[in-house]
A and B are shown apart, each in its own frame.
Chain A
Amino acid sequence: MKNINGFVKTQLSNGLAVLVKEAHAAPVASFWVWYRVGSRNEHLGITGISHWVEHMLFKGTQAFPKGVAERDIAREGGVFNGMTGYDFTTYFATLPADRIELALRIEADRMVNALFDPDEVAAERTVIISERQGAENEPEFLLSEELMAAAFRVHPYGTDTVGHMCDLERMTRDQLFAHYRTYYVPHNALAVAVGDFDADEMVRLVEQCFGATSNSPDIPPMNAVEPPQRGERRVVVEGEGNVAYLQMVFRAPTVHGPDFFALTALDAALTGASGVTFFGGSLTNKSSRLYKALVATELATAISGSLLPTVDPFVYSLSAVVHAGVTPAEVVEALDAELARVAAESVTQKELTKAIKQVKAQFAYSSESVTAQALWLGFSGIFADYNWFENYIANLSAVTVEDAQRVAQKYLRRSNRTVGWYVPESNA
């Protein structure tokens, strides 16, 4: 039964987790299925397989042959897409609320019935390779790929979700299909609906569409644990272009302890709160410490920070575009001075108050969209629980100046980081 806020959290007998939330501001609804599989579940030889499987789920089933699901959603006035991350693969549709059942029928069908036609696998191989080559056109992707490989030498987080070119060239249809069969089961998935409907009726509809889906054997365990880092690591990538880039990642705490929120608040002081909001943040960061230290001083033209919540401990990353005529080493020197200052003096209470207000505003903005709300509920369900999202502002508000200083000293150390420079060939 829904609670007073029109919210239901439940689980079907086959293990499918279900989160449903009413939102009546606009006559629309968003439906998502999140699978607990992503590049975290991959190894050399099959890197990129989760992302490729995601593409194959748009290539047809018996009930919805190729192109039919997209067409049916579009002609109802909906949008329809999928995304693959380190920890998840997710599919969503947002539609006029009275048409949302179509999204449930499509997702329930392709949870088990995707065809993986060999010809379609072959055609999609070149599309995926093209997607990777498009990314390779960006110097920041080339740097990030090398940097993450250096930061993680055991854990799959060291490999980008798109996968290595050699694996994309050789992976087989049977490997893709086996991956699908292994991970696309109700007890490895989370269904989320937010929109202009009755929550109890929506739960019944989910039960009706997904209740009969059976499970396969257990999900293979993911045992990789990244060993402690013993000293700073450095990466230099040389490539075409006229502009240098700097990226720096620090091994970060798990989402489950207080350190995560303290580091989140610290990031807001250092690079602004758009890093706090993960998706769709549109805030500028020109009053942040690192903007003042790097951009206002004309060492860099942009600086950003990110602390992505993940299942296993990940990294806190800083990324800068180096100003023409400046070297990455000069940017690192100025950045180090700021990190030393924050470790010695912490941030101010005013900076913490600002971060909380920024997050509250971002939450208000994202509440206008059922798609954003469903994304948040589902995403937090992947690495924690929807409560993590609901308690986000309270946990951030509990961070003290002392907490921020403690995490600055604990995590933002040289020996805990990997530093990457992209050096354009004209300067190499």
Chain B
Amino acid sequence: MSTPGPEDITRSELPNGIVVLVRENHDSPSVVVSGYLHVGAYDERPEQAGLATFTAGTLMRGTANRTFERIYEELESVGASVGLGGGTHTTGFGTKSLVEDLPLVLDILTDVLRHPTFPGDEIEKLRGEILTDLEERAHDTRRMAGLTFYELAYPEEHPYARSLIGCSETISALNRDDLAEFYAGGYGPQGMTIVVVGAVETGDTLARIEDAFGGWEGHSYDRDPLPDVPRIAEVRERTVPIHGKAQSDIVLGYPGPPRAAPDFLDAFVCNTILGVFGLMGRLGENVRDAQGLAYYSSSRVAGGPGPGPWRVIAGVNPVNVERAIASIRAEIRRICDEPVGERELDDNKAFITGILPLQLETNDGVARTILNMERYSLGLDYLQRYADLIGEITVGRVQAAARRWLDPDAYALAIAGPPAI
């Protein structure tokens, strides 16, 4: 199978605005559908936190043509899956099935996206599941550190500062009308993208998608621009005490570059050096390997349509929290102050480009990649240009990205765990 590119990806736009991309792969009898709608937590009010995710979950709970039981009986009987999930900017969907079952899967996907009925009893069941999950979250050090980090790193009015799944107060207050209205106001073809990868015939697949979604005329929300996210100029630290736990979780980070930022790939390479390469990069080498402070200590730059976070995570014994933070800050200081070595940069660049065949091995991986190419307007030839784009990144560009986005003395820091003894 060759690297996906303009030669073997077919891109088509339906009259109602939906973008469809198809890539055939006949090595396996399966097919993946992956995509997103232009609706998400961006479009909910702060006092409704969790509404977009709750709404997406409710769509699978009953349609004009199928009950909740029937949806899952039909899907699970053929070993297929359909999933929906609310995000901040978009609501994602995905399916996986044998190719012989694609017609059924598309029919169910169309049904849940276009004809949901919001059955009251199912909404209450889903609410109970979300509330139980929120109770679990309140005692989960990793999740609480993550949640608190977002609150610290972003202005209160920014959608990134809110939890995607909400909190018990907001979830308890939402009613059926809220969900149905949110759906009616924002689910529609504008900004929708669908990628199909697998053992399909392109022409036939495009016709099926047009048949399923071509007649859809939903609505979409007008969006105000995201509030500005100022660079963090001081230390913002908060500890969430969770008694009775054996380990504390740390998240230290910053609002990071959007995917479209000119230096996103520079930051991506910088992050690979900092907390990914080999066994969690320099952070793994220092915090885990040299000092034995943590089982995990790694970093990630999120990218995305807005200033998603660039953050470091670590799980450490409560008595070692301060030492771990000092070590993480030392590594951030080093990558800001000292140019990375040429050899280290070359190794990281080789890893980033060399791992592409592994990322493109499965239909899931190819679909995810094509979806990103479309979402961020990277072009269908992006993978063919990728090695050059990475190859031209220099030591200076890596350091510039570190200095622009990171700061060892001004950051958001969330800690969740038991008080140190």
**Contact surface of A with B, Cβ cutoff 8 Å:** 25-28, 58, 66-67, 70-71, 73-80, 94-96, 122-134, 136-137, 139, 239-243, 272-273, 282-288, 292, 295-296, 298, 301-302, 321, 323-324, 354, 357-362, 364-365, 367-370, 425
Contact = CB atoms under 8 A, between A and B. Distances in A.
B355 interface: yes
A139 B288 CA distance: 25
Given A25-B27, A67-B278, A78 B81 contact: no
30 contacts: A25-B361, A28-B361, A70-B279, A71-B278, A71-B347, A73-B278, A74-B347, A74-B350, A79-B355, A123-B289, A130-B247, A130-B293, A134-B296, A137-B247, A241-B135, A242-B138, A243-B132, A273-B79, A284-B75, A284-B76, A321-B136, A324-B135, A357-B79, A361-B30, A361-B78, A361-B98, A362-B79, A364-B98, A365-B96, A368-B363
Given A28-B357, A273-B79, A361-B79, A284 B72 contact: yes
Interface stretch (B123-131, B158-166, B259-267): B123-131
B285 A67 contact: yes
A283 B346 CA distance: 40
Interface residues of B, number: 70
B227 interface: no
A401 to B, nearest CB: 17
Contacts of B243: 240
A298 B358 contact: no
A287 B30 contact: no
B326 interface: no
A272 B80 CA distance: 12
Given A242-B135, A324-B131, A362-B79, A70 B291 contact: no
Contacts of B294: 127, 130
Contacts of A134: 246-247, 295-296, 315
A131 B295 contact: yes
A361 B97 CA distance: 7
B76 A133 contact: no
B157 interface: no
Interface of B: 1, 27-30, 68-69, 72-73, 75-81, 96-98, 125, 128-129, 131-133, 135-136, 138-142, 242-247, 277-279, 285, 288-296, 315-317, 346-348, 350-351, 353-358, 360-364
Given A25-B27, A127-B295, A367-B28, A75 B132 contact: no
A123 B292 contact: yes
A425 B138 CA distance: 14
B245 A370 contact: no
A116 B262 CA distance: 46
Nearest to B291: A123
A272 B77 CA distance: 10
B60 to A, nearest CB: 9
A283 B132 contact: no
A359 B79 contact: yes
A66 to B, nearest CB: 8
A287 B81 CA distance: 12
Contact of A425 (B141, B244, B295, B362): B244
Contacts, number: 201
Contacts of A357: 77-79
Contact of A126 (B27, B138, B246, B292): B292
Contact of A243 (B136, B142, B295, B316): B136
Contact of A77 (B242, B346, B350): B350
Nearest to B279: A70
Nearest to A66: B289
B354 A272 contact: no
A273 B78 CA distance: 11
A137 B364 CA distance: 32
Contacts of B245: 136-137, 240
Contacts of A70: 278-279
A48 B131 CA distance: 37
Contacts of A370: 361
Given A67-B285, A357-B79, A364-B28, A287 B69 contact: yes
A178 to B, nearest CB: 22
Contacts of A243: 132, 135-136, 139
A76 B353 CA distance: 9
Contacts of B246: 132-134, 136-137
Nearest to B277: A74
Given A243-B135, A321-B132, A370-B361, 7 more contacts: A27-B357, A28-B361, A127-B292, A130-B317, A133-B317, A283-B76, A369-B361
A142 to B, nearest CB: 10
List the 6 closest A-B pairs by CB distance, nearest first. A77-B354, A361-B79, A240-B244, A70-B278, A25-B27, A126-B292
A127 B354 contact: no
A214 to B, nearest CB: 30
A102 to B, nearest CB: 12
A94 B288 contact: no
A42 to B, nearest CB: 20
B228 to A, nearest CB: 37
A10 B362 CA distance: 29
B111 to A, nearest CB: 16
B225 to A, nearest CB: 37
A272 B357 contact: no
Contacts of A369: 361-362
A75 B351 contact: yes
Contacts of B129: 295, 301-302, 323
A418 B208 CA distance: 51
A223 to B, nearest CB: 33
Contacts of A284: 72, 75-76, 81
Which residue, of B29, B81, B295, B360, has the highest number of chain A Cβ atoms within 10 A? B295
A282 B347 CA distance: 34
A123 B128 contact: no
A241 B139 contact: yes
Q: Which of A124, A241, A285, A302 lies at the interface centre, i.e. has the most chain B CB atoms within 10 A of its CB?
A: A241
A230 to B, nearest CB: 35
Contact of A364 (B30, B69, B316): B30
Contacts of A96: 354, 357-358
A362 B98 CA distance: 9
A122 B290 CA distance: 10
A133 B354 contact: no
Given A77-B353, A130-B293, A287-B72, A240 B79 contact: no
